[in-house]
Amino acid sequence: MDASSPIKTAKTKTKKTTDKAVIKSTITPPNLPILEIQITGDAPYCQHKFGEKMRRKMMDTQEAGSTAKSKRVREPKDFDDVYEQAIHYSSEGWIGIPAAAFRSAMIDACRLTQMVMTKAKLAVFIVPDGIDADDGQPLVRIIGEPEQHIGYVRLSNGSADITARPLWREWAVTLHIKYDADQFTSDDVINLLLRAGQQVGIGEGRPNSRKSHGMGWGTFTLDSA
């Protein structure tokens, strides 16, 4: 071998190894405590349920299709029956308010705060006391005695009508509010409900009515939490 020739040495290949990244969970289980809050109406509350009789009448007309009579026969209005049809009776027999009314009012009240409405939809819930005997709506029990209120209403087609609805001049409710404690504090929930009661309202004629400025009905205040 020529002394000037370079000496070749064997190259050892080293295998590169990479450690797999450890993925840590960042999603925590829901933290959903429940607040019990006593509320009292500081204005009359009026409700107007879409009754089973009216729903059945509409279904019969649609099922008849083209065979239905083009001219509607006006039947005598039984105001006592209309009044009863407008009440939310639970499957146990007591009268209630749709739980969704309070939840919707709280979500609407977010417009007055820095809370995002879409976040509130996922973070605030009303625990019902029962369900409607007819349509299964979740209800919260109302304390108080209703009276029959006959008044003027404006229908969706713009025409006027006279109808009978239940009206509570004095009423109270015990609410059980389930909320996401990672998004809201208990004070947030209490203050949001207070805004909902004073500035949004529930039921017919509420301040935040979509079709009018309301009649000053359906507002409430908090007694205890």
Residue 57 clears pLDDT 70, i.e. is over it: no
End-to-end CA gap in the chain: 98
The whole-number pLDDT of residue 211 equals: 76
What pLDDT digit, counting tens, does each position of 83-108 carry? 999 999 999 999 999 999 999 999 99
The whole-number pLDDT of residue 79 equals: 86
The whole-number pLDDT of residue 68 equals: 58
Percent of the chain with pLDDT over 70: 78
Which amino acid, residue 155? L
Q: Give residue 22's pLDDT band: very low, low, confident or very high (50, 70, 90).
A: confident
Q: Give residue 177's pLDDT band: very low, low, confident or very high (50, 70, 90).
A: very high
DSSP 32-98: --EEEEEEEESS-EE-----HHHHHHHHHHHHHGGGS-SSPPPPPP-HHHHHHHTS-BBTTS-BEEE
Which amino acid, residue 93? G
Please count the CA atoms within 13 angstroms of the CA of 70 that sit on its side-chain side.
0
Instruction: Name the strand (E) or helix (H) holding 139.
Output: strand 138-143
The whole-number pLDDT of residue 89 equals: 97
Residue 52 clears pLDDT 70, i.e. is over it: no
pTM of the model: 0.79
Residue 63 clears pLDDT 70, i.e. is over it: no
Q: Give residue 67's pLDDT band: very low, low, confident or very high (50, 70, 90).
A: low
Mean pLDDT, all residues of the chain:
85
Name the phi and psi angles at 11, rounded to 5.
Answer: -90, 130
The SS3 call for residue 36 is strand
Q: Please state, as a whole number, how many other Cβ atoms lie within 10 Å of the Cβ of residue 114.
A: 5
What pLDDT digit, counting tens, does each position of 110-159 carry? 999 998 999 999 999 999 999 999 999 999 999 999 999 998 777 677 67
Query: For residue 103, what is the DSSP state?
Result: H
